[in-house]
Amino acid sequence: MNETELFAPYEGELDDEELAPKDAGYWKTACKIFLKNKMGVFSAIILIVMIIFCMTGENLRPYGVQDQNTAIKNEAPSKEHWFGTDQLGRDIFVRVCHGGQVSIEIGLFASLIVSLIGVIYGSISGYLGGRADMIMMRLVEVFKGIPHLVIVILLSIILDVKGILPLLLAMTIVGWVNTAQVVRGQVKQLKGQEFIMAAECLGVPARRIISHHIIPNMMGMVVVAITLDIPTFIFEEAFLSFIGLGLKNPAVSWGILISLAQPNLVHYPYQVAFPAIAISVAMVALNIFGNAWKEAFDPKFR
């Protein structure tokens, strides 16, 4: 069989628009890749269920977060109290739901803050380059040389954390350094692109180039960074509250619930189990969700 038998000549007119593949778009392509990741989609469903559970769970029971009834203290899970009651007769199901709202809010806001600071700092450092870049990166290396958790603990003691705002300040004051380093590397690569050079030739100010050209081209990486930082800050809040340096009673979070129930672990393990399971499920689901988005934005998977 020769070549002419294998291939027949095309006698119609060629249309370049029909032959050229259509560009699905950056975000649309990323969403398609994410939806093909079964574990990523499953983790997203788990997260949605948990958020609905935390936001609406309190309304399913006729008990308040701080309602006490010592006559029913330390009751095991039952039809009246789905997760049982604590040492003061408070409904654990309602408190786990409310604590989830606080823990997720802290994780989300802390992630947004460190991402915002890291993106701005890294973009300025990477775009300016030269001496300014060297000085700014030396400052980042100083912060990275000290263990993050040690700084957070020291600041928690100094600030005497009693509310969410001081806790957010303690957790985010140096939490942006990793994001800043990653962003700086991305900006160094983008600086050599033609559209950046064209903007510079047209006399566009540096701040406008950073805000209108560089940062929008890194939004995929920023979304991934925020998603992967949320479980880290949820764990930090739980750890600080557990050792008494985070939120204080009567505030309610998953970390505080575990801290209050820890003395009763031997006799009433369910008091620790339910908030601990909530933290574990949230952290695992968020990590899988974040890694799925990381793959979706990775050029190797396109």
Q: Is 129 left (phi over 0), alpha (psi -120 to 50) or beta?
A: left
Does residue 147 sit within a domain?
Answer: yes
Does residue 21 sit within a domain?
Answer: no
Residue 201 is predicted with a pLDDT of 84
Residue 44 is predicted with a pLDDT of 92
Does residue 248 sit within a domain?
Answer: yes
In the DSSP assignment, the letter for residue 160 is T
Q: How far apart are CA 121 and CA 119, in angstroms?
A: 6
Does residue 233 sit within a domain?
Answer: yes
Name the residue type at position 277.
I
Q: Rounded mean pLDDT of 132-150?
A: 84
Nearby residues of 264 by Cβ (< 8 Å), 6 or more positions away: 74, 86, 87, 271, 272
pLDDT band at 20 (very low <50, low <70, confident <90, very high): very low
Does residue 270 sit within a domain?
Answer: yes
Strands (E), 37-90: none
Q: What is the pLDDT of residues 238-296, one digit of tens each?
A: 888 888 777 777 888 888 898 888 888 888 889 999 999 999 999 999 999 988 888 88
Find, among 113, 136, 138, 115, the residue nearest to 124 by Cα: 136
Percent of the chain with pLDDT over 70: 89
Higher pLDDT, 276 or 19: 276
Q: What is the pLDDT of residues 40-98, one digit of tens each?
A: 899 999 999 999 988 888 888 888 888 888 888 888 888 888 898 988 889 999 999 99
Report the CATH number that the domain containing residue 148 is assigned in CATH: 1.10.3720.10
Range(s) of the domain holding residue 285? 29-52+92-301
Does residue 200 sit within a domain?
Answer: yes
> Is residue 201 exposed (0-12), middle (13-18) or buried (19+ Cβ within 10 Å)?
exposed
Does residue 1 sit within a domain?
Answer: no
> Is residue 158 exposed (0-12), middle (13-18) or buried (19+ Cβ within 10 Å)?
exposed
Report the domain count for the chain.
1
pTM for the full model? 0.78
Q: Are 97 and 57 in contact (CB under 8 A)?
A: yes
